[in-house]
Amino acid sequence: MQGAGRFAPTPSGRMHLGNLFAALLAWLSARSQGLRFILRIEDLDVVASKSSYIPVIEDDLRWLGIDWDEGGLEGGPHAPYLQHERFDRYQQAFDLLQGRGLLYPCFCSRAELHAASAPHASDGQVVYAGTCRSLTAAQIAEKSRVKRPAWRLAVPDRTISFTDRRCGPYQEDLAAECGDFIVRRSDGLFAYQLAVVVDDAQMGVTEVVRGGDLIGSTPRQIYLQELLGCPHPAYAHIPMLIAPDGRRLAKRNKGSDAAVLRERFSAEEVVGWMAHAAGLRPNPTPLSPAQLVEGFSWNLVRGGDIVVGDAFL
Ligand code: GLU
């Protein structure tokens, strides 16, 4: 099969309705185009992730009616599929960027970052003021003695644009709206932005479907793809599921926890609810994911956040 879609959960807890919603739409889009479907485990943050959640995630996906061709604990041609086993790949990309003089060490503390930040925050992140961009070699050597730096990618004054399959045209001015961003944290862990670009490219991912909260990361990822010579996948950012108070569904919403959902509803009821909420069906009639493949189109998927009812809070 040509190309692949993927679902990339972080195993920091049991999935909730929002995760299942993202998995369903990613799977539907891939299957409707005849793409391979990959399950990648984003346990980059080894402290927040627990390997015991991986089989639980797999079991919840299978319960819902979602399968995958490669990835997860089953492996496949692009193994490993667990990010914590892929650090050597991220290191290679990091070395490539560093070798081209595109990275610089940043010693700023959290407090300094906030004090020096520009007011704009495209996705809740502050725009880095560039404080450490022009440190001399002597200054770097001195600061390194007392602190381990994070590493930032120096971004040019350039606008990155792309057309999202669901949201339409989107653009961001890298320098003004994003700023030099971190590709490796001061604790040595590689940043999500770098890892996701390396993984999507090496796994042959041609379509990325994920929560709308990540659309602001996409210009950074597209820029990294350019620098690393990776192809650009297509993107579809999906509506966020929110509580009536406007907050995103999260672990505190016990009714949306996969364990609770499985006690209260059948998989077909949950899929029916999601299909209706997404705009794929006029009413929440129970059905399987497979029944939604034919006729799936991003044109049908609604825009805007989806407010969930009390049953899922
Ligand atoms: N690991 C991210 C999450 O669990 C998804 C990242 C992505 O799909 O690019 O929300």
- The rounded Å distance from CA 30 to ligand 1 centre is 17
What CA–CA distance (Å, rounded) separates 162 from 169? 6
Instruction: Note whether 14 and 257 are within 8 A (CB).
Output: yes
Q: Per mean pLDDT, which range of 77-86, 109-118, 212-221, 290-299 is the poorest?
A: 109-118
Q: pLDDT tens digit string along 137-183?
A: 999 999 999 999 999 999 999 999 999 999 999 999 999 999 999 99
Q: What are the phi and psi torsion angles at 65 (to 5°)?
A: 110, 20
**SS3 state at 66:** coil
**pLDDT the model gives residue 121:** 47
pLDDT tens profile 98-122: 999 999 999 998 877 777 665 554 4
Asked whether the predicted pLDDT for residue 1 surpasses 60, the reply is no
For the chain, percent of residues with pLDDT exceeding 90: 91
Average pLDDT over residues 70-88: 97
In Å, how far are 32, 166, 242, 309 from 260, measured between CA atoms?
30, 30, 18, 15
Residues 241-266, mean pLDDT to the nearest whole number: 94
131 Cα–ligand 1 center, Å: 29
**pLDDT for the residue numbered 251:** 83
CA 86, CA 228: separation in Å to the nearest integer? 17
Span 17-40, pLDDT tens digits:
999 999 999 999 999 999 999 999
Nearest CA to ligand 1 atom 6: 8
Average pLDDT value for the chain: 95
Is the pLDDT at 82 greater than 80? The verdict is yes
Q: How far is the CA of 111 from the centre of ligand 1 (A)?
A: 27
Assess whether the C-beta atom of 210 lies below 6 angstroms from ligand 1. Answer: yes
Cβ contacts of 225 within 8 Å, gap of 6 or more = 197, 201, 231, 232
Ligand 1: which of 27, 29, 38, 210 to mutate, most ligand atoms within 8 Å of CB? 210
